[in-house]
Amino acid sequence: MAETIVELIGGHPLLEGLSPTDVEQVAGCSRNVVAEPGDILFLEGDPATTLYLIRRGRVSLEVHAPGRGPLVIETVGPRSVVGWSWLFPPYRWNFTGRVTSPLGAVAVDGNCLRAKAEADHELGFLLMRRFASLMLERLQATELRVLDLYGDGPGR
Amino acid sequence: MVLAVEAGPRTRHPLTPLLYRLAGKRRETEDTVTLTLEPAGEPIPLARPGQFNMLTALGVGEVAISISNDPAVGEPLEHTVRAVGAVSRALCQTAPGQVVGVRGPFGTAWGVRELLHSDVLVVAGGIGLAPLRGAVRALLERSPAHRPRPQLAVVVGARTPEQLLFEEEVLNWQHSGAHVLLTVDTARPGWAGPVGVVTDLLGQVPLDLTRSSALVCGPEIMIRFTARALVRQGMRPEAIRISLERNMQCGVGLCGHCQLGPWLICRDGPVFTYGERVESILGVRER
């Protein structure tokens, strides 16, 4: 039997533990999406309107560097989240999101979610705390990569 | 130049290299090769995965290099060497038929025999996959008669897809029953795998980490973050084994160059059980 949007997002780590009422609120802004490898979810510079809760598949975040072509800076996989440019002005994507393996995700309308968070600050706080935790994780992972861990160390 | 060396009987001493002839050389990446070595005379004792040998590039110097296979199953000794300094570069440039010096084996092993019935997660970064390769092979050979059959997951990180070690063999591990996850720091479009650090993938490992063991090897910072992440996800610190590398010079605990807190890595390591004491001491600067 097909799962409802509430069931789909309720089991996602980003929303795990939220009250049924809060999950319903988020579900009201959400729709189920599928995409195939090669599909572009969003383009760098375009208006950012969507949060994707990934259920299966993988999305690569790419940036175009002059003379170097597109570079993959990160990939995001199952049970993770892609897209938070809709959270802060100017609400434009910083990267291009390309599907690299068959994707099943829940797309949450960022404008709708922002409006609900503004109207219900408790929900807004719970969501922001979760986004902050996710951003911290990504920041720490980025810091590790900046260290170029696998590069040349002092060798003999 | 091929050195003509007569390998006669000799007295075995831990500071005296024995002569091995390069029987084969396989390029793994742009700067890394695997050397297959056969004794030119008296062999060193059988090495276990996790241990290391001191390899001598004759006329250049000596360097500690992990064993990258499991000689106990009858394979010739293999070392995977990355050219990062004068000695390792000379070793990488050694041609088949030429002779190198080998002292060892030294240090502690992964202890694969103790893991026959455990689900095991192997986490490797960069050249850190080399010391784990023999352990993975041994873990894949565990008898399916054990019910339920113990699971094996392997998470490998590298700088780029081109710098993934043993790529073909690693993909074969998948066919042999291991869950394999590869990730790289950067990639061009076309790389279908993940881009990110190994810790990003730990949540996707299909093992019950609270009941599993882990073997971790790679850059020390990666080891620290991986071990902490595993503990956060419920793994017991005593179930995590890590391999450390410091400035190993004598290999037998005499010179003290590889001291880390109360330990000499060459003698008490390189494989340690992660725990409060090890955790607190990681990050201490080497002498």
> CATH no. for residue A137?
2.60.120.10
Q: Which residue has the higher pLDDT, A122 or B269?
A: A122
Confidence of residue B285 (pLDDT cuts 50, 70, 90): low
Q: How far apart are CA A79 and CA A58, in angstroms?
A: 10
Residue B147 has pLDDT above 50, yes or no: yes
Write down the pLDDT at residue A146.
Answer: 79
Instruction: Say if CB A129 and CB A121 are below 8 A apart.
Output: no
Residue B167 has pLDDT above 50, yes or no: yes
Q: Which residue has the higher pLDDT, A109 or B264?
A: A109
Cβ contact, residue pair A149, B125, below 8 Å? yes
Residue B21 has pLDDT above 90, yes or no: yes
> Has residue A19 been placed in a domain?
yes
Domain total in chain A = 1
Write down the pLDDT at residue B10.
Answer: 44
Structural domain of residue A19, as residue ranges?
5-149
Residue B114 has pLDDT above 60, yes or no: yes
Instruction: Say if CB B162 and CB B190 are below 8 A apart.
Output: no
Write down the pLDDT at residue B158.
Answer: 93
> Has residue A55 been placed in a domain?
yes
Confidence of residue B128 (pLDDT cuts 50, 70, 90): very high
User: Which residues between 160 and 189 in chain B have a beta carbon less than 8 angstroms from any beta carbon of chain A?
Assistant: 163, 185-189
Residues of chain A positioned with their CB less than 8 A from the CB of B201:
77
Cβ contact, residue pair B192, A100, below 8 Å? yes
Per residue in A83-102, pLDDT (tens digit) is 889 999 999 999 999 999 99
Q: pTM of the full predicted structure? A: 0.84
Write down the pLDDT at residue A19.
Answer: 93
Q: How crowded is the C-beta side of B35, counted as CA atoms within 13 Å? A: 33
Per residue in A102-151, pLDDT (tens digit) is 999 999 999 999 999 999 999 999 999 999 998 998 888 888 887 777 76
Confidence of residue B6 (pLDDT cuts 50, 70, 90): very low
Per residue in A29-42, pLDDT (tens digit) is 999 999 999 999 99
ipTM over 0.85: no
Per residue in B81-90, pLDDT (tens digit) is 999 999 999 9
> Has residue A155 been placed in a domain?
no
Instruction: Say if CB B120 and CB B110 are below 8 A apart.
Output: no
3-state secondary structure B120-166: EEEEEEHHHHHHHHHHHHHHHCCCCCCCCCCCEEEEEEECCHHHCCC
Q: What kind and span of H or E run contains A20?
A: helix A20-27
> Has residue A102 been placed in a domain?
yes
Cβ contact, residue pair B126, A149, below 8 Å? yes
Cβ contact, residue pair B204, A79, below 8 Å? yes
Of the given ranges (A71-80, B86-95, B236-245), which has the lowest mean pLDDT? A71-80
A149 touches chain B (CB under 8 A): yes
> Has residue A67 been placed in a domain?
yes
Confidence of residue B9 (pLDDT cuts 50, 70, 90): very low
> Has residue A156 been placed in a domain?
no
Total Cβ atoms within 10 A of residue A31 = 12
